[in-house]
Structure 1
């Protein structure tokens, strides 16, 4: 499984509180006009059903079994654009995305 996290995203996640003692949980959930969207939260603990899918210094990313199939190739970036700034989770393996880029289909 390959996940890429840009330096800008790493810096911002550390600013938000990722410190090596907690995790960034990434899930694929149903939603959006293309069928799926990503959810990301900072969590203090990892569930037994989850797996560590990325680690670099204090940044640890976890995912549940159902989401693992959709995370290979995931790219996490951060943009400070005035319009639609924030974290961007994209997967180059997506065969379809919605017009606003929030949802996808694999």
Structure 2
């Protein structure tokens, strides 16, 4: 009986999340939390930090600073990546990824849009910037590499 009640609680949690997501979608016109919850048992999520990203972060960040990557609505493709150097971590919502001393923070909601992606540093003649590349959750993006649309089949 206890197991059945526990399963019902999980079902109710999923229903509440779907209702909340539907309300956000109806208000904003796009699914903000659509991929934030992938079922009852979530697999470990991650991002890959490239060697170029590590090199650049070692040059510009102090030992107690992190590169925060955020997915926000906007840009020409629907969603955009934002990058900031920060010195605080929200232990309840943030996921910390580290490679060779370079530290990257991604909040839980943003990670649901970029799970499995690579964070890179790209240099051109006219600009240099951090970029999210090889994002398995992105369908199309604009030429600047800063915005993307989400795959519909997820």
Q: Normalised by the shorter chain, which TM-score bucket? A: 0.7 to 0.9
- The counterpart of 1:71, out of the listed 114, 135, 139, is 114
The alignment's TM-score, normalised by the length of structure 1, stands at 0.83
Give the structure, 1 or 2, with the largest relative contact order (CA under 8 Å, sep 6 or more). Answer: 1
Listed one character per residue, the Cα deviations across residues 63-84 of structure 1 (whole Å, up to 9, x for unaligned) are 2222121121221112222034
- Is 1:62 the counterpart of 2:105? The answer is yes
More helix as a share of residues: 2
The alignment's TM-score, normalised by the length of structure 2, stands at 0.60
Q: Distance in 2 between matches of 1:95 and 1:88?
A: 16
Q: Distance in 2 between matches of 1:93 and 1:64?
A: 16
Match of 2:83 in 1: 40
Q: Which runs of 5+ in 2 are unaligned?
A: 1-44
The root-mean-square deviation of aligned C-alpha atoms, in Å, is 1.8
Q: Which has the larger radius of gyration?
A: 2
Classify 1:101/1:57 alpha carbon distance in 2 versus 1 (closer, same or farther; 3 Å). closer
Q: Which runs of 5+ in 1 are unaligned?
A: none
